[in-house]
Amino acid sequence: DAGVIQSPRHEVTEMGQEVTLRCKPISGHDYLFWYRQTMMRGLELLIYFNNNVPIDDSGMPEDRFSAKMPNASFSTLKIQPSEPRDSAVYFCASSFSTNSPLHFGNGTRLTVT
């Protein structure tokens, strides 16, 4: 079991650039979640998918953020254009079903200068 795989581990970009974060969930998991963690706001749920379909995106900060899940083994979180306040650690998590624990990746640390 390789766990949830996120890439890149670190991303440094300039304000205004497009940023794409990637996630490969654990095989067989039907739920995928994107979280953001900052010192000020802690861990926040941005969006989650069930069977590749977005279920709740109420946590997405604004239209600059978008997430897709084109198939069961891949998801992206895109920020366009990026701003310094987007700097955070972004986590992807997956779970087998409604009553299964969340399995988190090791996150992508994003720095926007």
Site residues (CB under 8 A) for another protein?
4, 31, 33, 35, 42-43, 45, 48, 50, 55-56, 91, 93, 95, 98-107
Among residues 58 and 63, whose Cβ is nearest to another protein?
58
Q: Which is nearer to another protein, 38 or 113 (CB)?
A: 38
List Cβ neighbours of 36 (8 Å cut-off, separation of 6 or more). 43, 44, 46, 88, 89, 90, 91
State the minimum distance, in angstroms, from the CB of residue 97 to another protein. 8
Task: Look up residue 87 and give its two tokens.
Answer: 């700097």
Least separation in angstroms between CB 42 and another protein: 6
- Shortest distance in whole angstroms from residue 35 CB to another protein: 8
Asked if 76 and 21 touch (Cβ cutoff 8 Å), the reply is yes
Sequence-distant (6+) residues with CB within 8 A of 74 are 22, 23, 24
